[in-house]
Amino acid sequence: MKDFDLTDRTALVTGSTRGIGAALASALEAAGARVWRHGLPTEIPAQADTILQDLLEPDGVESLCAKMTGPAPDLLVCNAGSFFDKPFLEMDRATYEKTLRLNVEQAYFLVQAFARRLSAEKRPGAVVVISSTNGFHAEENSTAYDLSKGALVMMVRTLAMALAPYHIRVNGIAPGLIRTPLTRTWTEQKPDLVRHYEKKILLGRLGETDDLGGSCVFLCSEAARYITGQTLVVDGGLSVGQIGSFES
C-alpha cells in the first residue's frame, strides 16, 4: 500500500544494534527508508550508517547529532534505554538518576534537537517513542524503570502538543514481554515464570522483536498521518486482563 512506503525518508533509530531497536531499523529499511542505526562504542565496531555514541555522556545527544551526515532525518525512533533496578529500599540515587537520564532525558532532548532542525528547514516529520507496558502497570522491583516508562507515555502526549504546530507527529509504542538480550536472562532461568505469562498473554506466547516492526512503520508512515499523541500497546493481549502474582 502506497501510504506505508517510506521511500525518500530518512530515519534515526537509537539503541538499534540489537534487540527491539535492530528489528525496528530493519522494518523501516524494508519499507524504503534510509536508516541511521545507533549503539554503544563497546557493542560493535564502527560501520557505515551506524553511529556509536554513549547517550549517558553529558553531550551524548549533541555528539550523536553531529556524527550524522547528509540529509537530516525526518523520522526519529527513540528506543535507547535499559534496566538497572534493584529493590526499592536498596535503591541509590546514582542508579535512579542513571535510569532517568538514559530512559527519559536523552529521548526528550533528542526529540528537541530533531524538531529544531526540521522546523528550521520547514519540513514535517514523525517521532516514535518506545516505552513499555511498565508505563501503565507496575512491576515488582522495577520502581525506577516503571517511573521512566510512565514518563515516556506522557512525553508522547506533551510533545505531540508542543510539536503539532510544526507538523511533527509524536506517537509511541509500548511493548509487552518481548524476547530480547535484556530479557533473555530471566526467560532462560525461569521457565515456570515464562509458562505463567504465556497463560496470561491472550495470544499464548512471548513476543518476538519482529512483532513490533509493522507498528513502527505504520506510525512513521502517511497511513498514520492523522494520528498523534497516542501510545500503541503491542503486548499480545498481556495487559488486557489482570496478571496477579506468581509463586515459584
d(Cα 176, Cα 147) in Å, to the nearest integer?
16
Q: Cα-flanking dihedrals φ and ψ of residue 14, to 5°?
A: -80, 150
| CA 77 from centre of chain | 6
| Dist CA 109 CA 17 (whole Å) | 21
Place of cell 541511521: 36
Asked if 110 and 125 count as a contact pair (C-beta separation under 8 A), the reply is no
Q: Single out the residue of 58, 22, 70, 14 nearest to residue 40, CA to CA.
A: 14
- Just list the catalytic residues: 132, 145, 149
